[in-house]
Structure 1
Amino acid sequence: MKFSRSRKFLFFSILTVSATATVAVSAQEPAQTATATPENVVAKVEIVDPTAAIRKFARLASDNSAALARVGVQTAQPISLSLSDAIRRALQNNNDVEISRGDVRFQETQVRSLLGIYDHVFTATPTFSRNSTTGSDATNDFRVNSNLSKNIQKGGGNYQFFFNNTRTENAFAQAQVTDGTASAGSAIYSSSVGFNYNQPLMRNFRIDNTRRNITIARKRLEQTESDFRLQATATITSVQRAYWDYVFALRNQQNEVANVNLAKENLRQVEARIEAGAAAPLDRAEVVTELANREGSLLLATQTVATAENAIKQLLIRDPLSPEWTQTFVPTDKPAFSLDSTSLDDAMKDAMDNRYELKRLKLQREINQEDIKYFKNQTKPQIDLNTTFSLDGLSRSGTSTATTTNLITGSADLFLFNGLNATRTSLALPILPNPTVIIPASPSYLFGGFNRSLANMFRSDSPNFSIGATISFPLRNRTAKANLDGAKIQEEQLQAQTRGQEQSVIVEVRNAVQSVETSRQRVLTARRARESAEIQLEGERKLYENGRSTTFLLFQRENSLTNARNAEIRAETDYNKALSDLQRVTSTAFRANNITVSSPLDPK
């Protein structure tokens, strides 16, 4: 005997009603003898009217606002957010990008700090001293020495301009500045102006440790700027992925809301059929169960929306106390899609030309070459040229006058002279005379104080100069040779690291291109699946309306359509996420999104 689908449905409905009625009668019999406790009263009511709770749930489920509510988020004033705006805000406000930007500025200060060694240095040392010993007069000395020195970046030399002035009353100091010709009793003024110049000729000529450190610091600065752009690229990718995850979460929530509303409409139709006597009361249970399941899925979809929204807010909002945390973001961009395939060769070329990891390794190799150049220079002997040129002036206080004195003076000389005359007298010889001599006055240019000493610096007899060399070399120089060997070993390591990084880039690009192609095919298949699910649901609904299908089968078709719609939007968002990953592995995110990121060192 064969039954149609509608007759089978009616037959199973009658069996279900009969079985439920039997259970209800069996349950009522022991209830009549039981003690009337509150629990038993409630149980008895539920048994007498098994559809009361179902009707109550149906009334509570008539509104979706509770299922759509998100904790701590107000939907009254939503903020429209395009993908380009999200990327712009992230680059401006993201804390990780700000940290990376600060690293660049900090490294730039390190470069300027090292360049400070080539600044001019002015030094002045004024000194006053008073000297006295027992039984002698005190002498006062005053010195003012000054110089201006500078290291020269090209060639590694250094020079110093000096200007020294001294006033001394000390006999020993006077003898030093006058080559022993001056004596105490007046102040001596001496002035000197000139320069010193030292120049390495072999070691430290083409490169020294200071210039090496400056070059390395500049390379480090370029590395930190590459790291900044790498972080900015990673942030763009994170924003794109979070944006499309948020788009999917909202679309998924919309599909779940539509599915819940569809179940509510089915419940309304079943209620009408029950009131008309065309359906059994317990038919309501199947619809309410499905409605509860769909509302559970809607709650999970709402949770996914909240999680996705928080993820994108974390990337865009700088301040943890910003009021934007309580506002909802509404994405305005739709997932893009193209039927064009991606060229693997073009992607490989972009990656090899643009990847910041490869640029960083290239800079590291350049740093290593600078080390090799420096350590090779340190194996040479040190020969430094030293030169000095100065103009010296001297003067005394007082005036210039001629003096008359005996030829023989001094106690010792006079003692001998007088002894000689005494001997001559005893021998009846004539006494030797001690003639008087006139000491002419000193030249006038030697007197006049400090101003005169300054003027004397420019006389033709004042220039002084010296030239010499300093030669130094270790007998074995093991330190420099060992450092050179170590730098060459690091060069080999860097070459291996570069090859490994290039292989990693190749793998990432190939995987990214494959992911884009797979996602593109998934979009096409998901669209076909969704279109087929719509046709199947439409056919199943007509069968159900004609009594040739069951509620269970109708619900299956509705759920299949919801899943197909979610799979389609998931495929579309995954395709866009795959494109963002491709931009990341080829370092073309700035170009693809029309973004110009200025260097943190550019003037604002």
Structure 2
Amino acid sequence: MNNLRLIFCFFCVGALVFGLSCQEIAAQTETAPTQIASKTLDTNEKSTLPSAESPAASAKTADYSTAGNLTAPYLTRVGIQTTQTVPLSLNEAIRKALENNNDIEVARDDVRFQETQLRSLRGAYDATFSVTPNYSRNATTGSTASNDFRVDAGVNKLFERGGGSINTFLNNSQTGSNSRNNTNFNQTSGLVSSNSSTTYFSNLGVTYNQPLFRNFGVDNTRRQIRIQRKRLQQSDADFRRQTIDIISRVQQAYWDLVFALRNQQNQVANVNLARENLRQIEVRIEVGSAAPLARAEVATELANREGELLSATQQVSTSENNLKTLLLREATAPEWTQSYVPTDTPVYSDDPIIVEDAIKDAIDNRPELRRLRLQREITAIDIDYFRNQTKPRIDLVSSFSLGGLSLGNQNTGDISVQQFTGNDEILRLALNATRASLPNPLPQIPNTTVNVPGTPAFFNGGSFQSFRNLFRSDAPSYSVGVTFEIPFRNTTAKANLAGARIQEQQTQAQTRSQEQIVVADVRNAVQAVETSRQRILTARRARENAEIQLEGERKLYEVGRSTTFLLFQRENALTNARNAEIRAETDYNKSLSDLQRATSTTFRLNNIEVDSPMPETDDKD
């Protein structure tokens, strides 16, 4: 009888302990939602689609703290100081990527390189100055050497408008020679002087060549400049596309990190719940209300949940590293050892997306289509140029110049000389003797004195005098002419024109193909947004039902009508339902960012301004 009383007392104590344990487990489970997920969807919260940010979202701060639990060994991350956290909003992440991302920097440098190429081509219209000094010495048998020193200078310039070219020149020569008969011939001036040993000649003028038919509207230089201007705009389109892709990847990585951290929180809470279950079952085993085998079942479940927590921690590291790859410039940046804590929470909106409007935005804004439109303009430039090259060449050629001459040091005064000198004087004397010996003497031939005027003063001097004589208006020279060049077949130009027209057809086909790809991309993105929105609603209902099922299973377990195995199944089902809800939320925001990319509205919806590389200029010259 005493043994029966002892057994009855032992049974009552065990029942009391079991009841208290169940109440603690229920209390732990009821508080789990605040530990597992700090953010649940608010159906009244709105955001402007397709933006992934809203004032309501940015006003909230997500809490990913896992302090106060016994899972620290399973939260360890290699090379990361989890105590050094860096709060990071989505907007800050985008700005950091714009400043530091290496792929964006490469695309930006390509735009700058294309700018230099355009400036290089425009250098063809820079004026050029040339100077050519030359000294020559010529000697022939029977005469002294002839020395000639020349300096030729000029400025050349090609005009962009009209395609004409101008050449201004200034030539100066100095020629001197002494022959046996003391006669000097200047080949530059064409003058003969019997007293001067050096002649100075200067020439100043300008020539202008103007195409009138071929190369008038467009030539190869202007063609290359126009094409390079389009290529610069293409590189700008490529830069915008690359920037949009990087921003989209940043948004995707950001929401992946948000999911990974919240999933880790859920797994931490699930592990803590399993630890509490293990503690409770050990108490029951001690008082004899449970078999020792029950501990193995709970310990196995705890080990499984700890393994899932390790996987969740690995996912956090992977997601964070993916985000850091997009945000950091250097592989040795100190932020690699720090832990990012996203401060933005997923947003939700019931506003519908109009497919037609999204497609219109994409057709108007997609950089790929803009690049193809620019390629069509490049092909049109080629067609215009090659069509021009099939025309005959008619060029207007004109020139105007002034010449200046000086003869060195000359006698500018009058000179009195005998009419007959030297051999002429001997001949005159002989003639006079003969005339005097005649029967009827003839009058004598007199040797009269003749006054010879000196060299004009403006010819007296050296090189500077010849320069001054340039501007005397008595020696202008000018010419006007036309050059005709008519090709008989012009096969090359015609073949190039046919090739350019084929390229135009190819570009049109490429544009149609790309438009189809863009439309399909937009439709898929819109469908993804709508699907993600519906997934949020279904995941929310699944989570709510999982909570109800767990509560019911717990009550059955308390009265002994359920097993630990079934209870663990319900707990795991609730954890999976919560993770599915979190995944649906983050996938919805990721689909919004993908829709921004598909419609190329990323810059506008994220308040980002991208300057054009160079101001637009008129292509018509």
Given the two structures, how large is their TM-score scaled by the length of structure 1? 0.84
Q: Displacement, 1:76?
A: 1.3
Distance 2:579 2:445 in 1: 137
1:104–1:601 contact (8 Å) kept in structure 2:
no
Q: Deviations over 1:340-389 (max 9, x none)?
A: 22110110111111111111011000000000000000001111111111
Query: Residue 164 of structure 2 is aligned with which of 146, 157, 164?
Result: 157
Question: Which letter does structure 2 place at the counterpart of 1:158?
Answer: S
Distance 2:457 2:577 in 1: 114
The equivalent residue for 1:276 is 287
Q: Displacement, 1:138?
A: 4.3
Question: Which letter does structure 2 place at the counterpart of 1:245?
Answer: D
Distance 1:312 1:487 in 2: 45
Change (3 A) 1:545 1:128: same
Q: Displacement, 1:187?
A: 1.6
Query: Residue 327 of structure 2 is aligned with which of 316, 334, 346?
Result: 316
Q: Displacement, 1:440?
A: 2.6
2:435–2:442 contact (8 Å) kept in structure 1:
yes
Query: Residue 357 of structure 2 is aligned with which of 346, 364, 376?
Result: 346
Change (3 A) 1:420 1:201: farther
Q: Deviations over 1:204-247 (max 9, x none)?
A: 11100000000000000000001001000000000000111111
SS in 2 for 1:168: strand
Q: Displacement, 1:490?
A: 0.6
Q: Which moved more, 1:418-427 or 1:305-314?
A: 418-427
Q: Displacement, 1:418?
A: 10
Distance 2:517 2:151 in 1: 67
1:117 aligned onto 2:124: yes
Change (3 A) 1:586 1:470: same
1:509 aligned onto 2:525: no
1:577 aligned onto 2:585: no
SS in 2 for 1:202: coil
1:568 aligned onto 2:561: no
What does residue range 180-579 of structure 1 map to in structure 2 within 5 Å? 180-183=191-194, 185-398=196-409, 399-403=411-415, 433=445, 436=448, 437-579=450-592
1:94 aligned onto 2:101: yes
The equivalent residue for 1:8 is none
1:145 aligned onto 2:158: no
Change (3 A) 1:331 1:463: same
SS in 2 for 1:169: strand
Distance 1:84 1:410 in 2: 109
Distance 2:304 2:428 in 1: 140
Q: Which moved more, 1:77-86 or 1:456-465?
A: 456-465
2:257–2:319 contact (8 Å) kept in structure 1:
yes
Distance 2:498 2:73 in 1: 72
1:157–1:198 contact (8 Å) kept in structure 2:
yes
Computed over aligned residues only, the root mean square deviation of the Cα atoms, in angstroms, reads: 2.5
Q: Deviations over 1:36-77 (max 9, x none)?
A: xxxxxxxxxxxxxxxxxxxxxxxxxx9311211111111111
The equivalent residue for 1:47 is none
SS in 1 for 2:187: helix
What does residue range 54-133 of structure 1 map to in structure 2 within 5 Å? 63-132=70-139
The equivalent residue for 1:5 is none
Distance 1:64 1:85 in 2: 31
Question: Which letter does structure 1 place at the counterpart of 2:548?
Answer: I
Distance 2:433 2:218 in 1: 80
1:596 aligned onto 2:609: yes
SS in 2 for 1:103: helix
Distance 1:224 1:173 in 2: 67
Distance 2:430 2:342 in 1: 125
Q: Displacement, 1:129?
A: 3.8
Change (3 A) 1:233 1:534: same
Q: Deviations over 1:1-45 (max 9, x none)?
A: xxxxxxxxxxxxxxxxxxxxxxxxxxxxxxxxxxxxxxxxxxxxx
Q: Displacement, 1:199?
A: 0.7
Q: Displacement, 1:452?
A: 2.5
Question: Which letter does structure 2 place at the counterpart of 1:460?
Answer: S
Question: Which letter does structure 2 place at the counterpart of 1:536?
Answer: Q
Q: Percent identity?
A: 61
Distance 1:257 1:594 in 2: 38
Distance 1:513 1:240 in 2: 17
Given the two structures, how large is their TM-score scaled by the length of structure 2? 0.82
Question: Which letter does structure 2 place at the counterpart of 1:100?
Answer: A
Question: Which letter does structure 2 place at the counterpart of 1:159?
Answer: I
Change (3 A) 1:281 1:401: same
Distance 1:268 1:162 in 2: 104
SS in 1 for 2:192: coil
Question: Which letter does structure 2 place at the counterpart of 1:279?
Answer: A
Distance 1:537 1:296 in 2: 22
SS in 2 for 1:337: coil
Question: Which letter does structure 1 place at the counterpart of 2:514?
Answer: Q
Q: Displacement, 1:137?
A: 4.1
Question: Which letter does structure 1 place at the counterpart of 2:532?
Answer: S
Distance 2:194 2:233 in 1: 66
SS in 2 for 1:177: coil
Distance 2:184 2:293 in 1: 124
Q: Displacement, 1:439?
A: 3.1
Distance 1:109 1:485 in 2: 31
Q: Deviations over 1:454-513 (max 9, x none)?
A: 222222212111111221122100000000010011111111111111111111111111
Q: Deviations over 1:175-211 (max 9, x none)?
A: 3233233347422121222211111111111100000
1:147–1:163 contact (8 Å) kept in structure 2:
yes
Question: Which letter does structure 1 place at the counterpart of 2:517?
Answer: S
2:184–2:192 contact (8 Å) kept in structure 1:
no
Question: Which letter does structure 2 place at the counterpart of 1:331?
Answer: P
Q: Which moved more, 1:417-426 or 1:374-383?
A: 417-426
Question: Which letter does structure 2 place at the counterpart of 1:105?
Answer: R
Distance 1:205 1:384 in 2: 9
The answer for unaligned runs of 5 or more in structure 2 is 1-68, 616-621
Change (3 A) 1:461 1:286: same
1:406–1:434 contact (8 Å) kept in structure 2:
no
1:170–1:184 contact (8 Å) kept in structure 2:
no
Q: Displacement, 1:126?
A: 2.7
Q: Deviations over 1:112-158 (max 9, x none)?
A: 00011111111122334444556654444332322122111101011
1:169–1:184 contact (8 Å) kept in structure 2:
no
The equivalent residue for 1:29 is none
Q: Give the length in aligned residue pairs.
A: 540
SS in 2 for 1:400: coil
